[in-house]
Amino acid sequence: MAISSINNFIFEVRRCQPELVGPRKATPHEFKQLSDIDDQESFRFHVPIVHFYKHNPNMEGKDPAKVIKKTLAETLVFYYPLAGRLREGPGRKLFVECTGEGVLFIEADADVTLEEFGDALQSQYTYLDDILYNVPNSDGIVNCPLLLIQVTRLKCGGFIFALRINHTMTDAFGLLSFMTAMAEIAQGASTPSVLPVWQRALLNARDPPRVTCIHREYDQLPNTENIIPLSEMAHRSVFFDQTEISALRKTLPAHLHHCSSFDLITACLWRTRTIALQPHPDDEMRLLCIVNLRSKSNYLPSGYYGNAFAFPAAVTTAGKLSQNPLGYAVELIRKAKAEMSEEYIKSVADLMVIERRPNLTAVRSYAVSDVTRAGFDEVDFGWGKAIFAGPAVGGVATVPGLTSFYVPFTNRKGEKGTVVPFCLPAPAMDRFVVQLDALFKSQPLVEVQNYHKPPFIPSTL
């Protein structure tokens, strides 16, 4: 049993004992090597994803936990490497032993309704341990379950589907393929519409490896900063609707008016965040743009569910970023994103082998990932689409909270937009809110996640 406080209400979670769920029938016992893109030091951590579902009268009498558990066993027949365990070979090279041991599954009940969550739907950090229990000794990288799922029934008839996946096994698009397969099987399909493909050798280093691109995201810099634990950071979410995005666009020169909403939001957050952190004007600041190869080429087969993205970096000094208009940051971001290609990601794989898997540069870095079009909210186990879905908190193995994920959201006024959960040291967060409010004097952007304020009820409920 766990007790959590969100805003001004308390809720209680009662969990059953965690159990292992394996494939419904026997699967091959074999060994599968990860790619050199999968096998990065920066990916040796677990990613939490959370989905909220409303009560559906058409599913009366059906238990979402039982449905999802049965579906999980069926889906693991096709995605059987996820039921195995990672092993570590010479040089810390990772491979999967397909043992069929299974993934962790937890059934739970919470004495709370979806309406009571209010704006806390946008940022689950304060209660994540309750809706996604960290089973002791389960969150290691090797010799541990690769996936953990908790289904929490709510007293309103809705439920929360939360999972935690070992990032070395898959990225957001690969995970979505697995979840989509689960949803299809839950609704009666005998096989997924797109069968999973391993073929991790496609993203292995070349022979001989050769670094052909510049990778500022892996610059090895001395870290003189104090790393603040995630639990001691201030957590907020920023909601951008079309009104704010249009206002930002009007500040740009004419040749940038057709830039993407992602570029605008990212430029705004990176610049404002830098001002709030108050670095020395000559300090280099990095913006790591997470760009997936799948969106850039047809190099990978349909059904490939390994990691297939890179972090091309925009780099400038804090002084230039803070003192120049927003268009300056937009130009840097567009240039960084344009670097992503088949050659770029192959160069990253080669760099991993040559430099023995260097970690991402965490010093004065900020990474962003757009999952607004990934389709997490489209996953339907029979109860309808999720009212909110996406990664709960971002980071890399050494620096939790480094990454912000852009998630689709409908606010309490019924306006559709993008919500960006992120964290900063508390004094910097206060300055960030002031800076962003100043940017939008007439209509501040920040819907501050002050967990002691009364909750609001999103219009989607």
As annotated, the active-site residues are 167, 380
Calculate the CA dihedral of residues 278, 284, 290, 292 and round it to 10 degrees.
160
Show Cβ contacts of residue 136 under 8 Å, excluding neighbours closer than 6 positions: none
Residue 436 is which amino acid? L
Q: State both tokens at 334.
A: 């567009």
Give the whole-angstrom CA distance, residue 113 versus residue 216: 46
Calculate the CA dihedral of residues 348, 256, 250, 273 and round it to 10 degrees.
20
Residue 254 is which amino acid? A
Give the whole-angstrom CA distance, residue 120 versus residue 461: 13
Residue 297 is which amino acid? S
Nearest to 401 by CA among 428, 366, 433: 366
3-state DSSP helix/strand/coil % of the chain, to nearest 5:
30, 25, 45
DSSP state letter for 304: B
Nearest to 312 by CA among 327, 331, 334, 297: 334
Residue 127 is which amino acid? Y
**H or E stretch at 426:** helix 426-439
**DSSP for 4-68?**
EEETTEEEEEEEPPPEEE--SS-----EEEPPTTTS-GGG-SEEEEEEEE---GGGTT--HHHHH
